[in-house]
Amino acid sequence: MLVPVGKGIELDVDVTRFNTKVMDHIVKTGLRNLIMDSHASATQKADPTGYVAKSRELAERKLQSLYSGVVRTQAIGGPKAPTDPVAMVILRLARKTVQKDKAKELAAASKGDRLALLNKFATEYAEAHDAKLRPRAEKIVSLENDEPVAPKPEPVQAKKRKAA
């Protein structure tokens, strides 16, 4: 597993080498950080009487999202959006398909989790259907990158003369 640790450094970590005690510590620390970040916006200043309840709600919602397989990541340290134009178009095409195919599942998700869920489904779809989507994406990219061409003028047709 490649783990970005900052300053452009990525370490290739073999997680199978961790014993149970170390792995438990890593999981506990990671979960704690994820869940703490999820409820940081619920402050006493914003809601003097209900901030603890709101914090619990946000923390439980984050945990439920993790149980559901939804992971939102920041651009720093997390999976980055593709920079390859073809991959970006593949993802765009996948999103369109997933929005139609998974409309009910997306609508059932909480408002805050919809985008993350859409991105998860789209990424999975893009990976599974890359061979099918790639030719179309390559065509779109080539069309988008070409300079606009002035339309060809219509050929002028000669007027027909009446036979005498």
φ/ψ of 4, rounded to 5, equals: -75, 130
pTM: 0.44
pLDDT reported for residue 77: 40
**Domain map (residue ranges) of the chain:** 1-67, 78-146
Task: Report, as an integer, the average pLDDT of 128-154.
Answer: 76
Are the C-beta atoms of residues 126 and 98 closer than 8 Å to each other?
A: no
For 58, residues 6+ apart whose C-beta sits below 8 A from its C-beta are 38, 39, 41, 42
pLDDT tens-digit series, residues 74-129:
444 444 555 678 888 899 999 999 999 998 988 888 877 888 888 889 988 998 99
pLDDT reported for residue 159: 62
pLDDT reported for residue 150: 46
Distance CA(162)–CA(164), nearest Å, equals: 6
